[in-house]
Structure 1
């Protein structure tokens, strides 16, 4: 048996169906059935029984699943560990970034880094911030940009920039006349917001819950752009941050700060403690910090 056979077995056990497993694994049912027969022959037992509910594990099958799950987990962990060793030796930066942060840091930053360090292999993947954090926690990548607070016992955390989250309204909206707003001003208003894969969604939902109401979410999206578009059409309100608002350059919109509590979009750069010896990662950390410093001083215009 090999790791592929164990993954097939695990999928059948989870789905309780060869047909469902075949669709998930993009294999024929006949090919999956053959793998099951080979596993049963090798182990000298029945791993599954068939009944009206589908494929059910036998007692031996349940025991085998425990070992299969551990072997699969160990296999992928070893692959990730070896990948990190190879990345360190080959001088690789593998960046996972939350949507929006490259807009803040600017794509020019990445281009300039690659130009300055042509010997460093650079990879970049972009996700909703909570997904980026989950993948990084699962040992994907060796640097991450994301939003929020992070466990400094696990990670080396470098704050990049923090922006107040503000209410975005159309200039024709009555709220545009106000100097500031509170979370209560969201009540019974169509709200366009980033989805539950983003920290900003959970912050706003928590504030509304604490105020005793559920917001009227008109639509959840994967980025700020659609939110700005819908507010420009005066179909509702949204929340955003200054640098995105400035970057969009949309006319007829207004940002209003919240006055009832702290609402922050805090961008951080995180690495694992064990990546301290990775020369490429250290070069990238230093370069990003210097770049952000130049933005703050006005030497680089975002």
Structure 2
């Protein structure tokens, strides 16, 4: 048996059906059944029994499943560990980034890095904030950009930039007359906001809950652009940060600060403290910090 056989067995156990497992695995039912039969022959036992509700694990099958789960998990962990060793030796930058941060740095930052260091292998993947954190915590990638506060015992954290989160409204909306707002001002207002996979969603929802109400979120999205569009049409309110608002600036909208606490979009660069950095990651960190300094000085326009 091999890891592929164990994955087939685990999929059958999860689905309770050879035919359902075959569809997920892109195999024929005959091929899936053959693997199962070979496993049962090798182990000298029946792994499943069939009843009206489908295929159920036998007692031996349950024990085999425990070992199969561990073996598959160990296999993929070893693959990740070896990948990190190879990346360190070969000067690889494997970047996981939350949406919005590339808008902060500008795409030219990555283009310039690849041109400056053609010998460094560079990979880039972009996700919402929370999937980036989950993937990075699971040993995916070797450097990450994300939003929020992070455990500095686990990660080396390099702050990039922090922006206040402000209320975004149409100039015709009654709240547009205020110089500042509190979270209570959001009560009963239809809101467009980034989804629960983003830090900004949880910050706003938690503040509303602490104030004793649930926000009237009528639509969640994967980016700021739809929020801006709906506010422009005066169909609701939203929240945004300055640099994205400036980048997408249109007439008829207004950003209003919150006056009742800290509302921040804090972008950070992360590496793992328990993982030796390769030369490529060190060069990338230095490049990003220098690039941001050029943006601040006006040498580079965002």
SS of 1:236's equivalent?
coil
Q: Which residue of 2 aligns with 1:18?
A: 18
Cα deviations by residue, 1:93-133 (Å, 9 ceiling, x for unpaired): 11000000000011111111111111111110000010011
Q: Which residue of 2 aligns with 1:163?
A: 163
Residues 194, 221 of structure 2: 8 Å contact kept? yes
CA distance in 1, matches of 2:159, 2:13: 44
Query: How many correspondences in the alignment?
Result: 302
Q: Which residue of 2 aligns with 1:270?
A: 270
Cα deviation for residue 215 of structure 1 reads 1.0
SS of 2:109's equivalent?
helix
Q: Which residue of 2 aligns with 1:294?
A: 294
CA distance in 2, matches of 1:276, 1:39: 40
Residues 147, 265 of structure 2: 8 Å contact kept? yes
CA distance in 1, matches of 2:169, 2:276: 44
Residues 132, 144 of structure 1: 8 Å contact kept? yes
Cα deviation for residue 265 of structure 1 reads 0.6
Q: Which residue of 1 aligns with 2:123?
A: 123
Q: Which residue of 2 aligns with 1:226?
A: 226
Q: Which residue of 1 aligns with 2:107?
A: 107
CA distance in 2, matches of 1:173, 1:18: 58
CA distance in 2, matches of 1:278, 1:199: 29
Cα deviations by residue, 1:28-74 (Å, 9 ceiling, x for unpaired): 22211111111000000001111122111111011111110111011
2:47 is aligned with 1:47: yes
Q: Which residue of 1 aligns with 2:257?
A: 257
Residues 154, 274 of structure 2: 8 Å contact kept? no
Cα deviations by residue, 1:210-266 (Å, 9 ceiling, x for unpaired): 111111111100000100011011110001100100011222110001111111111
Aligned residues: CA RMSD? 1.0
CA distance in 2, matches of 1:179, 1:109: 36
CA distance in 2, matches of 1:62, 1:266: 46
SS of 1:165's equivalent?
strand
TM-score when scaled to structure 2? Answer: 0.98
> Counterparts in 2 of 1:33-182, with a 5 A limit?
33-182=33-182
Cα deviation for residue 89 of structure 1 reads 1.7
Q: Which residue of 1 aligns with 2:213?
A: 213
CA distance in 2, matches of 1:201, 1:276: 34
CA distance in 2, matches of 1:27, 1:195: 35
CA distance in 2, matches of 1:22, 1:149: 43
SS of 1:152's equivalent?
coil
Q: Which residue of 1 aligns with 2:247?
A: 247
> Counterparts in 2 of 1:273-284, with a 5 A limit?
273-284=273-284
Residues 80, 139 of structure 1: 8 Å contact kept? yes
CA distance in 2, matches of 1:103, 1:77: 33
Extract unaligned runs of 5+ from structure 2: none
CA distance in 1, matches of 2:80, 2:276: 17
Residues 275, 281 of structure 1: 8 Å contact kept? no
Residues 276, 282 of structure 1: 8 Å contact kept? no
CA distance in 2, matches of 1:275, 1:257: 40
CA distance in 2, matches of 1:280, 1:176: 48
Q: Which shifted more, 131-140 or 14-23?
A: 14-23
Residues 88, 276 of structure 2: 8 Å contact kept? no
Cα deviation for residue 20 of structure 1 reads 2.2
SS of 1:78's equivalent?
helix
